[in-house]
Structure 1
Amino acid sequence: MTIIEKAPAKINLGLDICGKCDDGYHELEMIMLSVDLNDYVTVTERSDHQVVMTSNSHRMPHNAKNDVVKAAELIRSRYGIKQGVTIDLEKRIPICAGLGGGSSDAAATLRALDKLWQLNLSKQELIELGFAIGSDVPYCLEAGCAYIAGKGEVVEPLSASLSSWVVLVKPDFGVSTRKIFKEIDVDSITRVDIAGLKKAMLTSDYDAMLSCMGNSLEDITIMKRPFIQTIKDRMLAAGADIALMSGSGPTVFALCPTAKRADRVYNAMKGFCKEVYKVRTLS
C-alpha cells in the first residue's frame, strides 16, 4: 500500500516574540498562510522492520537527523508499530529558507502514516506528536490560514481568505533558526500587532492587513545578512504591495494583487537571485 501527501510551504504574515519561557523557549504569536509551493511525501509499506528514506535532494540527511524519519520513528514507538516503511521525499521547497519545508514534510509524514497504518489518530494526538518534532509541525498538520500562539502548540484555523499572488525570493545562503533565536532581546525587539492583523484577516481588510504585517526577527537576521534588505527594497521598487521576510529567513516574500504585478516583481528578481518563485496563496 502507498500513500501520497502534499506538504505546502508557509509564509509568516505576522511573527511576534511575546516573551521568553523558563525552559528557554520563546512565546510566540503568529499568523501563517500556506502557499502553492509543495513538497510531496510518499510512504510505502515494507516487508521488513526498517524505516528507509529516499529523496531527490542530497542537501539534507536521509537518516534520523531528518524530521521525516523522526516522525516515522516517533509514531512507531508511540503506537507499537513494527511494520517497516519507505518514505520518499520529493523536495521542491528550498531548504533552510524560513518557509517551513522541514516541518511541513514531517506533518505530511504523520498524516500519511496515520492513513497507512489505519491508526485513526485524533487531531490532538497528531498535534502532540508534531510538537515533539518541532514547533511549526502542529500548524503544518492542517496548514491553510491560522493563528499560532504559545511555543507553536496553539493552532487556531482562521476562516479568512487572501487571494493574492506571492513572489518568493531565496538568496543563495541559509539561516540557522536556532542562532537567530539566541540573539533575541525580548525587551528591545520590534513588536508586531498580531491582534490587529488577525482582525484585518477575518474582516478581509487588505489595507489594514498590510499595515499590521511584520516580523520581529527581521532586524536580527538583516543585521547578519544585509542582502535581505536589498531584496526587500528591490521587490518594493518593482511594485510589490509589501515585502517581508518569512520566519527566521532568509526568504523574502512579496504580495501582489494581480498576476501582471507579480510578473513584474518576478522578472525584477529573476537573475538577481537564483531561486525565485511565483505562487498563489492557499487559504
Structure 2
Amino acid sequence: MEIEAFIKAPAKLNLHLRVLNRRKDGYHEINSIMVPVSLYDFIYVRTLSEEGIEIISESDNIPKGEDNLLWTAADRFFKCSGIRGGVSVKIVKNIPVAAGLGGGSSDAARLLVLLNSIFKDVLSFKALYNIAKEIGADVPFFLRCKGSIARGIGDILEEIPHIPSFWYVLVCPPVRVSTKWAYENIKLELTGYENSNNITFQDIDDFSISEILRNDLEEVVSERYPVVREIEDLLMETKPEGVLMSGSGPSVFGIYEDLDNAKEAKDMMISHQVGDVFLVKEI
C-alpha cells in the first residue's frame, strides 16, 4: 500500500560562527549558535512498492539523481533500516540555494525524520543521527530543529533551553557561495581561534544578542562579494539589534525585537532590490 506524507524543512541562521582549527580530514572545527527559522522547503513523499528513489522538482537547478542530498538520505535510510521498497520525493524549494541557510541539509534531515515516521520509527534517533552525520556536518541539527550551540564540525549539539525570541529580516543576494571555498580561504591566524571554544549558555537570562554576533567567514566572503557589506550597511540604517552574515553566506540578516520595525526594514530592503527578502522568526 502506498503512503503519502508531507514535512516542512526550515532554514537556519548562525548567530555566532567561529572557525577553529582545520582537521586532518579537511573539516574545520567550529563553535556556533544556530537557530531554525520560519522559512521552509516543502517535502512531499509517496512510498513505492518497487525499489528505487525518485526526486521530483519543478526547478531546473535542483539535481534529480545521486548528487541530491534527498536521494542520499533516502538511500541510506533504506540500507540502514533493511526495508525493501522505494520512495518518490517531491521538493518545493523556498530556501535559496548555496546561501548559508542550510537548505539542502535541512531537506535531507527532515526526509530522514519523515521516512522514519512512515515506517513506524524503525530506526532509533542515534541511528538517524549517524546517518545524518555521514551526509553532512550540519545535517544532525535539523533532526530536532532546536536552537543549539554546535561544536565539532557542527555535529556536536547542545540545545539552548531559553533562547530569546526575535524577528529577522533576511536578505539573500543573487549570488551563490561555495561553503568549501569559504572555509578553504579563511585566514585562521586572524580568527583568534585558540581561546574561542568557550560558548556556553547554562543560564541566559541576561542574554544579549550584540555580545554573541560574530561570523569568522564574513570577511573572506564579503571581500569577494561586496554585496554582503552593501546589504549590511543598508540594514544598519533600520536600527536593528544587530546585523550578521549567516553561515558561509551570502545571506545577511538584521535582528529586531519589534515586529513593526522588522516590517519597515523588510519594505526598505525590498525597495533597494539587492536580493530576495524574507521576514522570519525562530521556530
TM-score tier after normalising by the smaller chain length: over 0.9
State the secondary structure of the residue aligned to 1:141. helix
Structure 1 partner of 2:19: 17
Q: 1:75 aligns with which of 62, 74, 77?
A: 77
Structure 2 partner of 1:26: 28
Quick one: distance in 1 between partners of 2:162 and 2:143? 18
- Rate the CA distance shift 1:277–1:193 in 2: closer, same or farther, 3 A: farther
Q: 2:37 aligns with which of 11, 35, 38?
A: 35
Quick one: distance in 2 between partners of 1:274 and 1:205? 34
Structure 2 partner of 1:102: 104
Paired amino acid for 2:229: Q
Structure 2 partner of 1:252: 252
Quick one: distance in 2 between partners of 1:11 and 1:82? 37
Structure 1 partner of 2:204: 203
1:49 aligned onto 2:51:
yes
Structure 1 partner of 2:9: 7
- Rate the CA distance shift 1:190–1:265 in 2: closer, same or farther, 3 A: farther
Per-residue CA deviations over 1:37-59 (Å, capped at 9, x if unaligned) read: 11121211113212101123322
Cα displacement (A) at 1:98: 0.5
Q: Could you tell me whether the CA contact under 8 Å between 1:246 and 1:253 is conserved in 2?
A: yes
Cα displacement (A) at 1:194: 6.7
Quick one: distance in 2 between partners of 1:257 and 1:58? 38
Paired amino acid for 2:158: E
Quick one: distance in 2 between partners of 1:205 and 1:274? 34
What does 1:47-196 align with in structure 2 at a 5 Å threshold? 47-189=49-191, 195=198
Quick one: distance in 1 between partners of 2:26 and 2:49? 42
Paired amino acid for 1:224: R
Identical amino acids, percent of aligned pairs: 32
Quick one: distance in 2 between partners of 1:194 and 1:21? 15
Cα displacement (A) at 1:202: 4.0
Structure 1 partner of 2:278: 277
Paired amino acid for 2:276: E
Quick one: distance in 2 between partners of 1:77 and 1:61? 21
State the secondary structure of the residue aligned to 1:253. strand
Number of aligned residue pairs: give it. 279
Paired amino acid for 2:266: Y
State the secondary structure of the residue aligned to 1:160. coil
Per-residue CA deviations over 1:158-179 (Å, capped at 9, x if unaligned) read: 1023211110000011101011
Paired amino acid for 1:109: L
Give the aligned CA root-mean-square deviation in angstroms: 1.7
Per-residue CA deviations over 1:201-256 (Å, capped at 9, x if unaligned) read: 842334x3312211111011011111101100110112221110000000001101
State the secondary structure of the residue aligned to 1:163. coil
State the secondary structure of the residue aligned to 1:118. coil
Greater Cα shift, 163-172 or 264-273: 264-273
Q: Give the TM-score taking structure 2 as reference length.
A: 0.93
What does 1:198-237 align with in structure 2 at a 5 Å threshold? 198-199=200-201, 202-206=203-207, 208-237=208-237
Structure 2 partner of 1:268: 268
Q: Could you tell me whether the CA contact under 8 Å between 1:193 and 1:212 is conserved in 2?
A: no
* Structure 1 segments unaligned to the other structure (5+ residues): none
Cα displacement (A) at 1:193: 5.8
Quick one: distance in 1 between partners of 2:10 and 2:75? 22
Paired amino acid for 1:5: I
Quick one: distance in 2 between partners of 1:93 and 1:105? 10
Quick one: distance in 2 between partners of 1:151 and 1:126? 17
Cα displacement (A) at 1:126: 1.1
Per-residue CA deviations over 1:20-72 (Å, capped at 9, x if unaligned) read: 11212111111100111111212111132121011233222111111011100
Q: Give the TM-score taking structure 1 as reference length.
A: 0.93
